[in-house]
Every structure is written in structure tokens, then in C-alpha cells.
Homo-oligomer: A and B are copies of this chain.
Amino acid sequence: MDVTVTKAEAVSPALGLCSNSKPQIECSQCRVRALSLCAALEPDELHELDKLSQTLSFSARQTLFEQDQPADSVYNLTAGAVRLYKLLPDGRRQVVGFALPGDFLGLAMSERNMFCADALTPTTACRFSREAYSDFLDAKPHLLRRLHSMASHELSLAQDQMVILGRRTAEERVAAFLIGLRNRWMRVNGNHVHVLLPMTRQDIGDFLGLTVETVSRIMTRLAREKCIVIVPDGVRLLDVARLERLAEV
């Protein structure tokens, strides 16, 4: 699997930290598949890490972990999609990212979860106890390096998102979102134009700092202008060049 980091991707993937969950099924022959850290590991280390892991499944809407709860686990997503968000006391919500297969939850290795995470679709993830994972890291400095580089990449994406939220118009935000999500799906399923949208318009709005109505209006307009086609559970990109122009850094 290619995990090389390419330029110009956004839609913040997997970040922060994680934990306490309510799994549905537990698979005994769990594998450390699609693990973004593999690149830094020798086969025997991979085997060792594999023994620490546990495969979990979550149904759509199920919570992986909640903000401010103690983070006793870290996860690696193997299938499905997860939304990561923060809540304000009055109910306003800010989605800080979406996690796709291959993404890592718990990069920060901190004591408490910094946001909520719940499954958008049926999801499977590889779970590690944070303690065991931390011990493993202590023994493998090169793995820590890799973890740090992934966290830095997240930081960079978060800063790009700050530009989007602070200085871009509604249309530019939606375009940047679609292009960013396309680039991330490409690394999962290789498809270049069919962008799956497992999240609702509300989720997209809460990610982009817009309302549902605005997201819907912008998308219909882009469709009317032959820039995209709206299809069941996703979007087909027609005029990628135009979208990239709208989204350009």
C-alpha cells in the first residue's frame, strides 16, 4: 500500500487521540491491515504489533469514543468512515475531520480524547491499548518518528483548514472539500472522479463552517454548471480543473 504523502490534500483525515468504545463484534483472527505505520516496521515487529491488536466493528452511528473521556485506546481504521467533532455548550458543532480506511486515531497519544468520534457507515478498526502501544513505541524510536511525522502532517492539514474556514467563500470551501476528499479516496480505492460522501450535508456544513442549506445550494449550483453530478451517496466530478482552481491554495 502506498502511504507516501502527496501535496495538496485536505479534509483532515485521522488525527488526535481516542478511546473507550462499545464494540459490537470482536474478530479473533485480527490482522494489522492497512496500518499506516507498516512502512516503518520490520516483518518481526509487525508480527509483534499484530499480537497487541484486536479487531472491532462498529455499526453506523455508533460511538467510538467521546470528547474529554480518558483515552485508553488508539485505533487504525480498516473499513468504513468516521466523523470527528467538537461540541460547544450551546449545541453548535464543529467537525474537525473525517477518518477513512488507513487513517490512525490517537496520533496525539494523550490522556484524554480531544473530540468525539462516531461511525458514519459500518466500520471496522484495529484497536491497541494505549499503554501497550506506548510501551511498543518506547522500544522502537523509528516508529515514534513515523508517528510524529504523521501528527505533523495532521497539523499541516489543520492549518490548511484554518485558511479555508477563515478566508474562503462558501463555493471555495465546498470545492476544496470535494477535491480533498477525492485525493483521500484515491489512496483507498484508486477512483479519480467518483467521490463517495458517507457523511450528510449537515456534517459537511459543520466541517466547512456553513449551514446545510448553503452546502446544498452550492452543490446544486455546481451541478447546474456541469462541474459535478450529484449521485446516490456521492458525487461525480466533471470539471476537476475548475474545482481545483476554486480550491487552489
> Does A162 touch B at the CB level, under 8 Å?
yes
Nearest Cβ on chain B to A170's Cβ, whole angstroms:
12
> Which residue of the partner chain B has the closest CB to A166?
B209
Contacts A166-B208, A248-B89 given; indicate if A96 touches B148 (C-beta within 8 A). no
Residues of B within 8 A of A166 (CB): 94, 165, 206-209
Interface flags, A106-145, vs B, CB<8A=1, else 0 = 0111100011000000000000000000000010010011
The answer to whether B155 touches A109 (Cβ under 8 A) is no
Contacts of A208 in B (CB 8 A): 166
CA distance A163 to B92 in the complex (A): 9
Q: Which residues of B contact A16 (CB under 8 A)?
A: 152, 155-156, 159
Nearest-Cβ distance from residue A168 to partner chain B, whole angstroms: 8
Size category of the A interface is 35 or more
Within 8 A of B (CB), among A138-177: 138, 141, 144-145, 147-149, 151-152, 154-156, 158-163, 165-168
Nearest to A92 among chain B residues (CB) is B167
Residues in B with CB closer than 8 Å to A163 are: 86, 88, 94, 96
Contact B107–A167 (Cβ < 8 Å): no
Residues on B with C-beta less than 8 A from A86 are 159-160, 163, 249
- Alpha-carbon gap, A249 to B87, bound state (A): 8
In the assembled complex, the CB of A195 is this many whole angstroms from the nearest CB of chain B, namely 22
Closest chain-B Cβ to A174's Cβ sits at a distance in Å of 14
Quick check: is A15 within 8 A (CB to CB) of the other chain?
A: yes
With both beta carbons as reference points, the residue of chain B lying nearest to A156 in the complex is identified as B114
Known contacts A165-B165, A209-B166; A107/B152 CB under 8 A: yes
List B contacts of A162 (CB < 8 A).
94, 96, 158, 161-162, 165
A93: CB under 8 A from chain B? yes
Which residue on chain B has the smallest CB distance to residue A209? B166
A192 CB to nearest chain B CB (Å)? 24
Nearest 4 CB-CB pairs, A to B? A166-B209, A108-B152, A165-B165, A158-B158
Can you spell out 18 A-B residue pairs with CB atoms less than 8 angstroms apart? A15-B159, A16-B155, A88-B168, A88-B249, A92-B167, A94-B163, A96-B162, A96-B163, A107-B152, A109-B152, A114-B159, A141-B141, A144-B148, A161-B162, A162-B162, A162-B165, A165-B165, A167-B206
